[in-house]
């Protein structure tokens, strides 16, 4: 399952290879309310086909209508704005006077789309620099935390695995979690030394390793764009990895299990000389409460909490998993591995 960013690039590459004219549209600035964030992309073909999104649909409709009526005639990039007037903002679904600014770039074999895709396949984090006056493109390595930037007539966009998710355990829940996380721009690594769990694993785009989880956590040098989720229910596999993750800069560390099991886990981890502040970083029972029962629903619950933490949503505004609301002596764990 590709992220939207990859889907746009791959489709544009196919159109170029087929000899079609096409353009890449990137959101570069917004004011007020806007349906899509800075960096959102859309590709449009000369026959009106589109992939991706830059708005709730109204701007896409206008772009398609213009291409069908006039064709694709640009030879260099152009910056266009929608929603300057109140009437236009309303027409294009931009409430509260919202405005959106787009870079429209005609694509060709010189646009380095294929090179970008090849380097993304190698899990590189890249900066793509587009000279708006000439259309010239260069690709360079990007630093973690880099953001899109428009300065001095050059649009720099960031592509690649900006976030990393390490999943301990290769069970059924891990499969759903990995699939959804991959579509959310995470580079996912699943770790399980148990052969019986790894043997049936065939999820494209997800790295599967068989080393001990704590060794993986140490080797991976977790940073503030990393998350660790332990899903095995086996203390021999989960606890040491969690211990190392809680000492790291990972923005999220979580473990599956009931409230009772997580209380026992915290007591075990305390024996490893973790501080109270480090233990307080452990999310468990894991996930936000959405009434989840099936593995796919539980995966959504986990990623909902992970997203809330990543986006800085205060803990008091998050509705914790139902297991966290049960009396301490109650064993609740609605997880199928």
∠ CA 209-166-5, rounded to 5°? 105
Bridge partners (DSSP) listed for residue 158: 127
Q: What is the pLDDT of residue 83?
A: 73
Which band of pLDDT confidence, cut at 50, 70 and 90, is reported for residue 30? confident
Chain segment 115-174, per-residue pLDDT in tens = 999 998 887 889 999 999 999 999 999 987 788 999 999 999 998 877 899 999 999 999
State whether 153 and 168 are in the same domain: no
Pick the closest to residue 253 from 299, 216, 288, 222 (CA basis): 222
Instruction: Provide the 8-state DSSP code for 286.
Output: -
User: Is residue 154 in some structural domain?
Assistant: yes
Lowest mean pLDDT among 80-89, 103-112, 225-234, 318-327: 318-327
- Which of residues 102, 129, 159 is at a domain's end? 159
pTM value > 0.85? no
Cα separation, 259 vs 332, whole angstroms: 7
Chain segment 98-117, per-residue pLDDT in tens = 678 999 999 999 999 999 99
Pick the closest to residue 180 from 145, 216, 206 (CA basis): 206
CATH number at residue 173: 3.40.50.720
Helix (H/G/I), strand (E/B), else coil: 218: helix
State whether 291 and 215 are in the same domain: yes
User: Is residue 336 in some structural domain?
Assistant: no
Count of other CB atoms within 10 angstroms of residue 280:
10
Mean pLDDT score across all residues of the chain: 87
Q: What is the pLDDT of residue 297?
A: 94
State whether 91 and 185 are in the same domain: no
State whether 170 and 139 are in the same domain: no
State whether 146 and 34 are in the same domain: yes
Cα separation, 12 vs 10, whole angstroms: 5
């Amino acid at each position: 399952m590709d992220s939207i960013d990859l889907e746009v690039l791959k489709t544009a590459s196919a159109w170029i290879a087929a000899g079609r004219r096409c353009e890449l549209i990137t959101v570069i600035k917004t004011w007020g309310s806007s349906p899509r964030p800075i960096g959102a992309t859309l590709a449009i073909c000369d026959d009106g086909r589109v992939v991706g999104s830059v708005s709730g649909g109204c701007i896409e409709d206008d772009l398609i209508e213009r291409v069908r009526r006039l064709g694709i005639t640009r030879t260099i990039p152009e910056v266009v704005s929608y929603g300057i007037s109140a009437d236009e903002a309303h027409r294009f679904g931009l409430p509260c006077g919202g405005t959106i600014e787009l870079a429209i770039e005609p694509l060709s074999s010189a646009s380095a789309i294929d090179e970008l895709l090849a380097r993304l396949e190698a899990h590189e984090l890249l900066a793509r620099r587009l000279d708006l006056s000439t259309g010239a493109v260069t690709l360079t390595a990007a630093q973690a935390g880099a953001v899109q930037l428009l300065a001095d007539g050059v649009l720099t966009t960031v592509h690649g695995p900006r976030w990393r998710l390490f999943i301990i355990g290769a069970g059924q829940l891990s499969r759903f979690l990995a699939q959804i996380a991959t579509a959310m721009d995470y580079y996912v690594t699943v770790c399980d030394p148990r052969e019986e769990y790894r043997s049936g694993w065939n999820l494209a785009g997800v790295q599967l390793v068989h080393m001990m989880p704590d060794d993986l956590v140490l080797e991976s040098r977790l940073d503030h764009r990393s998350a660790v989720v332990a899903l095995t229910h086996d203390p021999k596999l989960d606890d040491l990895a969690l211990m190392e993750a809680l000492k790291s800069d990972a923005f999220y560390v979580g473990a599956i299990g009931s409230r009772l099991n997580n209380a026992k886990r915290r007591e075990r981890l305390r024996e490893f000389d973790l501080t109270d502040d480090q233990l307080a970083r452990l999310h468990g029972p894991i996930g936000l409460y959405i009434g989840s029962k099936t593995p796919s629903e539980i995966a959504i619950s986990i990623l909902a909490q992970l997203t809330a933490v990543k986006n800085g949503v205060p803990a008091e505004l998050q509705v914790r998993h139902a297991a966290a609301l049960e009396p301490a002596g109650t064993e609740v764990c609605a997880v199928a591995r």
